[in-house]
């Protein structure tokens, strides 16, 4: 079956996508990046703020990452054309009267930083915040980075694995039958929550049941079909993991794991945070190991859906209604209009 967005290598939803680790872009530095097939230059001004522009200078096409950061602007190595974070050209040596041509605009894209990552919005205007853990939306958080990884399948396929309830029993031997109930938050975000309780028919079930007042905690929150957060753990202590994904070459996935916890105060609080983030990483690694072989060879094609696959079908339905990124036109070889510079 051919979808509008799901599992497509040529189309993807407009939204926030992980671009670089923040530490990879110090003040005064530039970085080359191809994000979903679009060449970009990222740079950080002396003011500490990061920016993203289309990679090639609108004068003669030199790659702007070869240039220099001057103050909070980027100067092209080739002819010295200089651009603000908004993409506006402020200097074009050799231009008549010293005024840059009207078309001297480097397309800029919105940038944000969170969880030690630089995120780029793949459209002209931001509609949503950077993805977050719903339970911690209003809280100050501590975070650390887990593993970076590559998978030999599309990011959408990696995402749905976490709501494939049946595989937790067949692959991970989870002693609970999960039932994932979907809830659409808005166009770009859908959430799933387990509704089943821990069974008392097994030793492990009887051991952990007292720590859950209701259903076994397992919640997923998906943004743009490519970034997801998972919350799990007993009632008194929840673990939070974010999987930030982007498309690689040939329908593959490049991902970063972010471990998140509610921030505690003081030196004792810092120590507790580090311990919990370490434990969260172990939880994530346990589930990741079981799926490695599957992601290495899967060719996703849901030909015979079962009742247990309902959450996956809801995920696909939700993604199919999302806004297609305007970057897809450029990837298809269509003309790309020059837009008004975004505010930095």
pTM of the model: 0.91
pLDDT in tens, 11-69: 999 999 999 999 999 999 999 999 999 999 999 999 999 999 999 999 999 999 999 99
Q: What is the pLDDT of residue 330?
A: 61
Same fold, 16-121 and 134-320: no
11-20, 86-95, 159-168, 287-296: least confident range? 287-296
Dihedral in degrees, nearest 10, Cα atoms 98, 102, 103, 106: 70
Q: Are 219 and 228 in contact (CB under 8 A)?
A: no
pLDDT digits (tens, 9 = 90+) for 274-284: 999 999 999 88
| Alpha carbon distance 86, 231 (integer Å) | 37
Q: Does the pLDDT value for residue 339 go beyond 70?
A: no
CATH class of segment(s) 16-121: mainly beta
Average pLDDT, the chain: 91
133-149 pLDDT, tens digit per residue, is 999 999 999 999 998 99
* In the chain, domain spans: 16-121, 134-320
CATH number of the domain at 134-320, out of 2.60.40.10, 3.90.380.10, 3.40.1160.10, 3.30.1360.80?
Answer: 3.90.380.10
**% of the chain exceeding 90 in pLDDT:** 74
């Amino acid at each position: 079956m051919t979808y509008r967005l799901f599992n497509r290598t040529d189309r993807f939803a407009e939204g926030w996508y992980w671009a670089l680790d923040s530490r990879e872009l110090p003040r005064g530095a530039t970085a080359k990046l191809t994000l979903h097939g679009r060449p970009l230059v990222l740079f950080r001004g002396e003011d500490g703020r990061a920016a993203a522009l289309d990679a090639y200078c609108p004068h003669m096409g030199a790659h702007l990452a070869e240039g220099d950061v001057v103050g909070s602007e980027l100067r092209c190595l080739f002819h010295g054309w200089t651009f603000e974070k908004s993409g506006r050209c402020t200097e074009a040596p050799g231009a008549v009267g010293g005024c840059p041509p009207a078309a001297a605009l480097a397309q800029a894209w919105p940038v944000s930083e969170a969880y030690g990552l630089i995120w780029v919005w793949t459209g002209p205007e931001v509609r949503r915040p950077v993805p977050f853990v719903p339970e911690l939306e209003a809280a100050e958080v501590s975070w650390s980075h887990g593993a970076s990884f590559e998978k030999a399948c599309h990011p959408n396929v990696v995402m749905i694995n976490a709501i494939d309830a049946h595989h937790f029993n067949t692959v991970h031997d989870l002693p609970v039958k999960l039932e994932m109930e979907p809830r659409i938050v808005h166009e770009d975000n859908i959430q799933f929550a387990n509704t089943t309780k821990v069974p008392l028919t097994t030793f492990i079930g009887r051991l952990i049941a007292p720590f859950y007042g209701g259903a076994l905690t397992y919640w997923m929150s998906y943004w743009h079909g490519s970034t997801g957060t998972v919350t799990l753990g007993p009632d008194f202590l929840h673990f939070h993991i974010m999987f930030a994904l982007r498309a690689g070459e040939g329908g593959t996935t490049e991902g970063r794991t972010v471990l998140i916890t509610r921030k505690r105060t003081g030196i004792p609080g810092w120590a507790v945070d580090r311990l919990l983030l370490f434990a969260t990483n172990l939880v994530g690694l346990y589930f990741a190991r079981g799926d490695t072989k599957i992601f290495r060879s899967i060719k996703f094609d849901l030909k015979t859906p079962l009742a247990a696959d309902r959450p996956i079908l809801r995920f696909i339905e939700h993604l199919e209604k999302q806004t297609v990124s305007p970057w897809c036109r450029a990837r298809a070889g269509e003309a790309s209009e020059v837009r008004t510079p975004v505010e930095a």
